[in-house]
Structure 1
Amino acid sequence: MPLPALQDEEGPRLPEGLPPVVDAHVHLFPDRVFEAVWRWFDQYGWPIRYKLHTPQVLSFLLARGVSRVVALHYSHRPGMARMLNAYVAEVARAEPRVLGLATVLPGEEGATRILEEAFAAGLRGVKLHCHVQCFSPDAPELHEIYAACAKAGRPLVMHAGREPASPQYACDPYRICGVERVERVLKDHPTLKLCVPHLGADEFDAYARLLERYDTLWLDTTMMVTGYFPVPLPRGALQVRPERVLYGTDFPNIPYAWDRELKTLLGLKLGDDVLAGVLGQNALRLYGE
């Protein structure tokens, strides 16, 4: 059964006096893909509070004071990535406050060429999703993708944590994912800039330790500091290396107020410098802004 929606109050915009805020985890898809994603979430995930298409997503966030958004998407079958990449590249050209990322399906023919074309079109990194695309981070077919990102100096955002999981995925996230697999990637590709969303859920402490050891690893906060999931607030990464943590939301595919994540971060009293980094500066550094 889907998880519940929260009827929490949303703010009209960001509070005054904040440093620049970059939402480093926003999903943008063509309309029909968005709608297919929402149908899946309605049945198996959680109720989507903001069923907004791409123009509305951007106007919603930017009008509320978010200064930049990192646009993520992913393909789930061969031959889909070029269309999605062209779509996000066009969105980013029309709105310079969007940092658009590319995607590719690991193992599909011409994967390296697909990424080279995407980078040439101005896309700033790559998004992969182990659960949806059904691959292990250390699978052999990933090496060409990691090499292409490292060669181009483009970061890779990879949902490699085991959670949030669903039995409705075509593969078992607990079988294909794990912090030890990500560490193999970091060892085998020492110049790859890798960001793991959701603070590495559910292996929070293990990812915090990994963050201590590898200067090429970042984490983002997406959905994990909201109190939505029944887990203790994962503070480890923020305590160990806050300069390697990015603020992200999963907007618009969330079941609660758009600013819930932000309110929690503000309540942690991280200090001005740490807060400025987490809310925006760390993401801008990662993407070369």
Structure 2
Amino acid sequence: MTLGPDAAPAPEDDVPVPCLASAPSWRELGISMPMPALADEEGPRVDPGLPPVVDAHVHLFPDRVFEAVWRWFDQHGWPIRYKLHTPHVLSFLLSRGVERVVALHYAHKAGMARALNAYVAEVAKAEPRVIGLATVFPGEPGAVDILEEAFALGLKGVKLHCHVQCFSPDAPQLHELYEACARAGRPLVMHAGREPASPRYPCDPYTLCAAERVERVLTDHPTLKLCVPHLGADEFDAYARLLERHDTLWLDTTMAVGGYFPVPLPRQVLEVRPERILYGTDFPNIPYAWDREFKALVDLKPAEDALAGVLGGNALTLYGVDRC
């Protein structure tokens, strides 16, 4: 299974705006995939003395799609430590003290989204601790209808992936999707950072993705609630500045704070507006212990209210749901 479309839309040749990045790119630092697995020790569960935990970045797919994703990652990304199908993903995390999970998925080609959305909606209906999100393939026929049908099924937001689906955040075919999310009040989670980037993606994430492209989206769609995973890796400084300027932007911590990639901890982006940061993991598609990112965040010893927000409260606020 290829994780990109057969024919990728070309990014728009818009008038460039000044680049916001100020640090060397991961490519310039020589960081590339595939990456190795780690044999780090995993904890038995979340410390019950800590604030409630919501993992805002968990992937759920039907079995065959999961297995195809794992084959791809094993060859081109990193070895998957937890090859668990959906029921076992949920039992693993919930039994270890994670209070809720935000379930993400993506369609790698046109025609997949309706079935994937129905699958996640059924999972969320059966397990109320799952906050299910929808997906769609940008530019496919009836894309807005697909989202509106997914919202009617109870899905709480949308997940898109620039690398896999091969689009730029500010490409024309995205505007109708942004408008649909804004009308419905549904947040959009979009992997719009350049990293982590595999050379086996069907398009170059460095061509598609840039912080200034995301800023165009935030400016053109001022009521859209947008969450960018991985703290916007690798343009951490640029995303810190975007957080300062835009009240409709959130970031999640997925794979960006546990020290897996050999770059300094991006403390500035974590600290500039902690109420806009969500804890996330990429579970089960990770090459290290399930609680590595969680431990790293706790070890930073942020203020009590900031920690409570990052670990769970901010995600519940973003998706408009109550604690279990």
Q: Report % sequence identity.
A: 83
Deviation at 1:271, TM superposition (A): 1.5
CA distance in 1, matches of 2:68, 2:182: 32
What is the aligned counterpart of 1:62 among 94, 108, 111? 94
Structure 1 residue aligned with 2:297: 265
Question: What TM-score do the two structures reach when normalised by structure 2?
Answer: 0.89
Distance in 1 between residues matched to 2:213 and 2:86, nearest whole Å: 34
1:144-175 Cα distance to aligned partner (Å, 9 max, x none): 00000000000000000000001100000000
Distance, in Å, in 2 between the alignment partners of 1:264 and 1:239 is 14
Distance 2:34 2:140 in 1: 32
Output the CA distance in 2 between the equivalents of 1:91 and 1:111: 22
**CA offsets, 1:79-138, max 9 Å, x none?**
100000000000000000000000000000000000000000000000000000000000
Aligned partner of 1:4 among 36, 39, 53: 36
The match for 1:123 is 155
**Which residues of structure 1 form unaligned runs of 5+?**
none
Secondary structure at 1:251's aligned position in 2? Answer: coil
CA shift for structure 1 position 176: 0.4
Higher fraction of helix = 1
Alignment partner for residue 280 of structure 1, among 312, 316, 319? 312
**Is 1:223 matched up with 2:255?**
yes
Give runs of ≥4 in structure 1 deviating > 2 Å.
none
Where do 1:1-289 residues align within 5 Å?
2-289=34-321
SS in 1 for 2:213: helix
How far apart are the structure 1 equivalents of 2:253 and 2:271?
Answer: 13
TM-score, normalising length from structure 1? Answer: 0.99
Residues in 2 aligned to 1:286 and 1:57: alpha-carbon distance in whole angstroms: 23
Q: Distance in 1 between the 2:165 and 2:36 partners?
A: 25
Q: What amino acid is the match of 2:59?
A: H
Task: Give the counterpart letter for 2:312 in structure 1.
Answer: G
What secondary structure sits across from 1:170 in the alignment? Answer: coil
CA distance in structure 2 between the aligned counterparts of 1:240 and 1:101, rounded to whole angstroms: 27
- For 1:239 and 1:49, the matched residues in 2 are separated by 30
Cα deviation, 1:9-38, whole Å, max 9, x if unaligned, reads 000101130111000000000000000000
Report the alpha carbon displacement of residue 238 of structure 1 after superposing the two structures with TM.
1.9
